[in-house]
A and B are shown apart, each in its own frame.
Chain A
Amino acid sequence: GNSVTQMEGPVTLSEEAFLTINCTYTATGYPSLFWYVQYPGEGLQLLLKATKADDKGSNKGFEATYRKETTSFHLEKGSVQVSDSAVYFCALSPYNNNDMRFGAGTRLTVKP
């Protein structure tokens, strides 16, 4: 079946540090891939997406590239801010059904 595996947290970084959160997936065909962010006590917000191989999604300084050869969609940001502290979820949406799957989430804390 379809599944998403992302690196376990928590991740603690200093402000302006480089961020990488790894995500790999298992799916048939060509799913769409997403990163969501969840701030405390809130629902999930879409951060970025990619719908086909080699697409790069980007938003608010975050980037992720759809790598079909490695079935990966790693999230990166060159310089994190305190306001980036949140839980980040990698997700996939299959091309042929409605079974959207999420990773376990990675908690990021950025310290001043």
Chain B
Amino acid sequence: SQTIHQWPATLVQPVGSPLSLECTVEGTSNPNLYWYRQAAGRGLQLLFYSVGIGQISSEVPQNLSASRPQDRQFILSSKKLLLSDSGFYLCAWSVMMNTEAFFGQGTRLTVV
């Protein structure tokens, strides 16, 4: 069966520090991969999605970047965190277009 792992679960980082969140999927090949951010009490904002290795689509200009160095690995990064980067970050995968997405457990990022 397929599983998705996302870590760390919680993270407290100072303003200006770098960020690296990792997500891996097991049990499937060539998944579509997504990064979402959920601000406190708000809905999900799609940040990035990827349909293959090295292929990244960005939804909004921001202080973040994403990379997909391997088929089932998706990384969310920042060179310098801002206070506004605080939130709950969710990684997800899907088999193809027009199908459901499956989510990781999320990372609670607090920038102080």
Task: Please report A residues at the B interface, Cβ cutoff 8 Å.
Answer: 31-32, 34, 36, 41-46, 49, 51, 89, 91, 93-105
Instruction: Give the contacting residue for A101; candidates B46, B98, B104; CB below 8 A.
Output: B46
What are 24 A-B pairs with beta-carbon distances under 8 A? A31-B98, A43-B90, A43-B103, A43-B106, A44-B90, A45-B103, A46-B102, A89-B43, A89-B44, A93-B94, A93-B97, A93-B99, A93-B101, A94-B98, A95-B98, A96-B98, A98-B32, A98-B57, A98-B97, A99-B49, A100-B46, A102-B44, A103-B43, A105-B42
CB <8 Å contact, B42 and A104 = yes
Given A94-B98, A96-B97, 14 additional A-B pairs, CB 8 A: A41-B106, A43-B6, A91-B101, A93-B97, A93-B98, A95-B98, A97-B97, A98-B97, A100-B92, A100-B94, A100-B101, A102-B36, A102-B43, A104-B42
How many interface residues does chain B have, given as a range?
20 to 34
A51 to B100, CA, bound (A): 10
Nearest 7 CB-CB pairs, A to B? A104-B43, A43-B103, A102-B44, A44-B103, A43-B105, A43-B106, A95-B98
- B74 in contact (CB, < 8 A): no
Distance between Cα atoms of A32 and B98 in the complex (Å): 6
Distance from B34 Cβ to chain A, minimum over Cβ atoms (Å): 7
Chain A CB within 10 A, most for which of B44, B49, B94: B44
Give, as a whole number of angstroms, the nearest-CB distance from B16 to chain A: 27
Q: How far is the CB of A108 from chain B (nearest CB, A)?
A: 14
CA–CA, A46 and B2, complex, Å: 14
The answer to whether B51 has its CB under 8 Å from any CB of chain A is: yes
CB pair B51 A98 closer than 8 Å: yes
